[in-house]
Amino acid sequence: MLTDRKYRKTVFICLTEETKKASRPINIATKLTDDEQEFLKVLKIGFVGGCELSFVKEFLEANGAICYHTFDNGESSDPFLALTDLKGGIYSFKPDVIVISDAQNIRSYIGDIQKS
């Protein structure tokens, strides 16, 4: 728990504002052009990472992309583990593009910096 009340209040205000922004529905029709949606319809995108990639995957799927996310399929969110498993779902999906998040491997370092 944060001990500085002023800082804690600032953090809570920021988190509340970001949560409100994230909870608003996306108006997908205004986000991408028809040409962009046509491009996405032929693109297979693989996501290797945790829930931090879910909103991107959902947005792209809503606009026509075919996606596979290791997190959604109960597979490892660690890129090293997911990509070294040649029998894993990401390989059988055969994506045109792979988006990798390494957040889980740097999260502890970020926490150390924040605590210091």
pLDDT in tens, 79-92: 888 888 888 899 99
The pLDDT assigned to 21 comes to 66
* Tokens found for residue 26: 């996306």
Which residues lie closer than 8 Å to 76 by C-beta, 6 or more apart?
70, 82, 85, 88
Alpha carbon distance 79, 83 (integer Å): 6
H or E element in which residue 67 lies: strand 66-69
pLDDT in tens, 48-99: 988 888 888 888 888 889 999 999 998 988 888 888 888 889 999 999 998 8
Evaluate if residue 6 carries a pLDDT over 50.
yes
Evaluate if residue 46 carries a pLDDT over 90.
yes
**What pTM was computed for the model?**
0.65
